[in-house]
Structure 1
């Protein structure tokens, strides 16, 4: 580490901040992840309070496993929104054969996949991952995630709870979107890192003036309230089916690639090689354990958050104690009844408005990965792989064999993309540094 970089650092990873400074920095990281972490359960019908608690517990587990050497916060993953929605719809239909809690079983299995990948990395290094997950596969799969959710965002903006077109909802949705865009483009400093949260707050206030928010439940709620956790063997009997495995597990390709990218970027921000110390295997294992913890209490799968890396780059305060504080605050917020009820009163068009931008950014980040890694579409091999992934994923292609075996949508697209990359001739060797040269 250079002396100049040393001088620019406000707090090193191992430094303990002063109490007041630590509290403010922790709350800042909490706000950075808050909007996106709460949005995922809001879209999937899960409990936002449990998502906050599971993100806090997951972050604590991550810090423990990485021996306090990786300043990261873990929040809800966007990659699993569509699979979770699909499984919850099937759970509500007795004829489907999909049992209650299947989406949580699937989330737990995803965590096990992370742990397995971590074990293989510890034994065999990282080169094998690059062969499975080059930019030509991961880029289009990420695009499928964003584009596949487009109709969900538009539906939330245009339709009222009765499923009817509502101009009031459209107005709220686009005002929320406008606030989010203005904040992202024109704000500076910390505000530029939390445009989603600013958009949700602004859209919520506008919704109150439009008369679509009832604040009485918030006033009536208790300050302390235990959320309705969903615990295996108590609230449901875990049941593993091929359908759940094939719908959830292949999607792990995306957050695994995302995790590696975040660790490389974070290494550059803190000027330490976190891939070697504490090691990619430990950080990947921490991600997996966090996801398994979330699944055991009814929360969505977790992933490391780029928003919080952005805050680190701005503040230059890398202290791991700040992330410990953010995790504890998230858990406290999750047990606050008024906050829980407040989150439940956020109108659909507000979440839909920010989702238009967020889902579009997800799709664009897949395109960005292809551009930054200079993927040449004059090469037929690349053109074929990306084209097949996009059409299978967005078109909702499916393979059904009997009642127990089904592979569809993004999961099918991911598997087909990996297979085509391995089978088709002309595969180029690419390093992770090339793939994630800029975040």
Structure 2
């Protein structure tokens, strides 16, 4: 048993304690998990449902050894938006299935050959700038949602609505900076709740749909629809699949951090191939049902670190709680009434944190920007990704934005030579 654990991975707490601890994990992931579908036009209920299902799948695949919770991935916000415009929500789900297939292939190769090759393929100098791109490329979306309202399909500035965004942002920042304990790990949820209360006070919330909703409701499913048009299908793959480069890197990072928290080496046991397979299967099932792609959640790793309760039973309980909550029609309808400006306010913080986490990865990786190789790779990734560069293969096929930046980053890392360090005697002391 880990010396620091209050309740270790295989320990089962009492029923009352397990319920409390499981709800705590559900609340930690709740805000971010429902935010992603609301930004891309999916159902918050289906996001909750599939997060619970994906987590249970992950636990089974990893032989109940890795206490991780799977929630909605922010890396796919822009790709799902683009894919939906290209082929509808059903088409975007097809893209999610293909992303999962990449996980399966990578997991199989790791199982057969070991994991060292993927560490060399995706070093911090490639992954960190791509993460920065994800955050900064989404920033115009956050600002538009925070400041404007939609009038006749046009964005119109409203100070009244913008004030709700500012209150939401302030509440989240204060929670992060000045609140202690587990609540400090839930700034998204706290910010949304306070922003929502403020929105009620200034009269910008419409309860019409809540009155009409039933107490029990089946979540809205968006079944994958394969368009047999080769052009549409190819574009879906080009939009969605390259982002797996980022999410696989994120997955590896989470496994390393989680291993440090609970004093285990999850890369070796149960193995990176198993955790990647679990993540991929979770994303695959989510895509089949109409939910966003999944990823292990840093928020829940934070809860583990603070509480030192690592029990797999608690994570399983959180998954069951999420599944049950997804069928509460009134609650889901209430969530749908959250003003876009509140979501915009919290997105300003979240998207900024995503970009900043990329910067942190560069610092933690001791990346030397005096090395011209590092400077070239990061510079090209950032400009191509944020600038929205496009490559048109024909009049119909194109690769653009984050997807293009990810692929070019991997290629540059593979082909650019490392600088030779000057070790001549004239520079010796």
| Fold shared by both chains (TM-score > 0.5) | yes
Query: Which residue of 2 is the match for residue 88 of structure 1?
Result: 84
Which shifted more, 371-380 or 281-290?
A: 371-380
SS at match of 1:227: coil
Of 237, 242, 250, 2:242 maps to 250
Of 11, 16, 20, 2:16 maps to 20
Kindly indicate whether the alpha-carbon contact (under 8 Å) linking 1:77 and 1:302 is maintained by their aligned counterparts in 2. yes
Q: What is the aligned length? A: 414
Query: Which residue of 2 is the match for residue 37 of structure 1?
Result: 33
Query: Which residue of 2 is the match for residue 283 of structure 1?
Result: 275
Report whether the alignment pairs 1:400 with 2:396.
Answer: no
Of 222, 226, 229, 2:218 maps to 226
Query: Which residue of 2 is the match for residue 96 of structure 1?
Result: none
Query: Which residue of 1 is the match for residue 158 of structure 2?
Result: 166
Q: Normalized against structure 2, the TM-score is what?
A: 0.94
Q: Superposition pairs for residues 152-163 of structure 1, below 5 Å?
A: 152-162=141-151, 163=155
Q: What's the CA shift for 1:221?
A: 2.0
Report whether the alignment pairs 1:371 with 2:363.
Answer: yes
Q: Superposition pairs for residues 56-95 of structure 1, below 5 Å?
A: 56-91=52-87
SS at match of 1:161: strand
Q: What's the CA shift for 1:126?
A: 1.3
Of 290, 310, 314, 1:322 maps to 314
Kindly indicate whether the alpha-carbon contact (under 8 Å) linking 1:107 and 1:300 is maintained by their aligned counterparts in 2. yes
SS at match of 2:403: helix
Query: Which residue of 2 is the match for residue 151 of structure 1?
Result: 140
Of 112, 119, 123, 2:108 maps to 119
Query: Which residue of 1 is the match for residue 130 of structure 2?
Result: 141
Gaps spanning 5+ residues in structure 1: where? 93-99, 429-439
Q: What's the CA shift for 1:84?
A: 0.6
Q: Distance in 1 between matches of 2:325 and 2:87?
A: 29
Report whether the alignment pairs 1:131 with 2:140.
Answer: no
Q: What's the CA shift for 1:19?
A: 0.6
Of 104, 129, 150, 2:93 maps to 104
Q: Distance in 1 between matches of 2:167 and 2:314?
A: 34
Of 268, 279, 284, 2:260 maps to 268
Q: What's the CA shift for 1:379?
A: 1.2
Q: What's the CA shift for 1:216?
A: 4.2
Q: Distance in 2 between matches of 1:416 and 1:273?
A: 32
Q: What's the CA shift for 1:127?
A: 1.4
Q: Distance in 2 between matches of 1:153 and 1:175?
A: 15
Gaps spanning 5+ residues in structure 2: where? 421-429
Q: Distance in 2 between matches of 1:29 and 1:184?
A: 17
SS at match of 1:9: coil
Kindly indicate whether the alpha-carbon contact (under 8 Å) linking 2:372 and 2:419 is maintained by their aligned counterparts in 1. no
Q: What's the CA shift for 1:220?
A: 3.7
Kindly indicate whether the alpha-carbon contact (under 8 Å) linking 1:101 and 1:238 is maintained by their aligned counterparts in 2. no
**Cα gap change, 1:171 to 1:187, in 2 (>3 Å):** same
**Which whole-Å deviations, capped at 9, do the CAs of 1:382-437 have from their partners, x for residues lacking one?**
11111100000000000112244210000000111111111110079xxxxxxxxx
Kindly indicate whether the alpha-carbon contact (under 8 Å) linking 2:90 and 2:223 is maintained by their aligned counterparts in 1. no
Query: Which residue of 1 is the match for residue 423 of structure 2?
Result: none
Kindly indicate whether the alpha-carbon contact (under 8 Å) linking 1:63 and 1:70 is maintained by their aligned counterparts in 2. yes
Kindly indicate whether the alpha-carbon contact (under 8 Å) linking 1:242 and 1:404 is maintained by their aligned counterparts in 2. no
Q: Distance in 1 between matches of 2:71 and 2:395?
A: 34
**Cα gap change, 1:244 to 1:237, in 2 (>3 Å):** closer
Q: Distance in 1 between matches of 2:109 and 2:364?
A: 28
Q: Distance in 2 between matches of 1:126 and 1:9?
A: 28
Report whether the alignment pairs 1:335 with 2:320.
Answer: no
Query: Which residue of 2 is the match for residue 299 of structure 1?
Result: 291
Kindly indicate whether the alpha-carbon contact (under 8 Å) linking 2:91 and 2:226 is maintained by their aligned counterparts in 1. no
Of 167, 171, 183, 1:179 maps to 171
